[in-house]
Amino acid sequence: MINCNRVNKKSILEAIEDFVLHIFSWFLDINVDIFKNNADKKYSIKLFDKKLINLCRTVSVVELVNEIIMKDKNCTQREIYYKFYNIFREQNQANKHIKDVCNILGYERSSLNIHASEKGCIAGLLILKKGYEILNLSGHENGIMINEFLLNVDKIESMANYIIVVEKYSVYQKLCENKIWNR
């Protein structure tokens, strides 16, 4: 069976734990006296706010990665942007912090179950092969999201008599519910 999440879930969770421990050790090592001893100096509030907001954005993405890895879910960069609309002003900010989290944890974005955008969904009488791994789509009731991994399969086999391209996701879901490929 093709494993779309080719990376060991445990190793990703360990990387997240290391990141969280690093953040906590950083907080515990802050010298609070620096603010008391320099009360006469004018520090820019914006400087601290910007660093704190960036940390908040990064930690929010890490928290979401932890959630989707634990639940074996997938999401798009766009979904992350909308989920955290209150801390990301634009999509590019979300993308930057997603990239930062990938670098911090040491994994590619797709290994963390985050995809650039939905490239569509696929379902039906279709078998995808990559090396010795096989993915039979007829066993997936609602189909699966097309991601970077699926775009790089070695061989595609189909027993279908026709291909239907559907623009609206709600129509796609209805066709899957009715198992249109068995007709």
Question: pLDDT tens-digit profile of 113-141?
Answer: 898 766 678 888 889 898 888 888 888 88
**In a shared domain, residues 74 and 128:** no
**In a shared domain, residues 101 and 167:** no
**In a shared domain, residues 27 and 103:** yes
**In a shared domain, residues 73 and 126:** no
Q: Is the pTM of this model over 0.75?
A: no
What distance in Å separates the CA atoms of residue 143 and residue 137, rounded to the nearest whole number?
A: 6
CA neighbor of 74 nearest in space, from 47, 110, 124: 110
CA neighbor of 77 nearest in space, from 44, 55, 48, 100: 100
Exposure string over 101-132, b if 16+ CB within 10 A, otherwise e? bbebbebebbbbbbbeeeeebbbbebbbebee
Last residue within a domain, chosen from 73, 93, 115:
115
**In a shared domain, residues 45 and 96:** yes
Catalytic site residue from 43, 82, 85, 169: 82
**In a shared domain, residues 24 and 100:** yes
Q: What is the pLDDT of residues 137-179, one digit of tens each?
A: 888 887 887 866 677 788 999 888 888 888 777 888 888 888 8
**In a shared domain, residues 133 and 109:** no
Q: How many separate domains does the chain show? A: 2
**In a shared domain, residues 78 and 161:** no
What letter would DSSP give residue 72? T
Per the structure, the complete domain to which residue 97 belongs is given by: 9-115
> Does the residue 4 lie in any domain?
no
Respond yes or no: is residue 82 known to be catalytic: yes
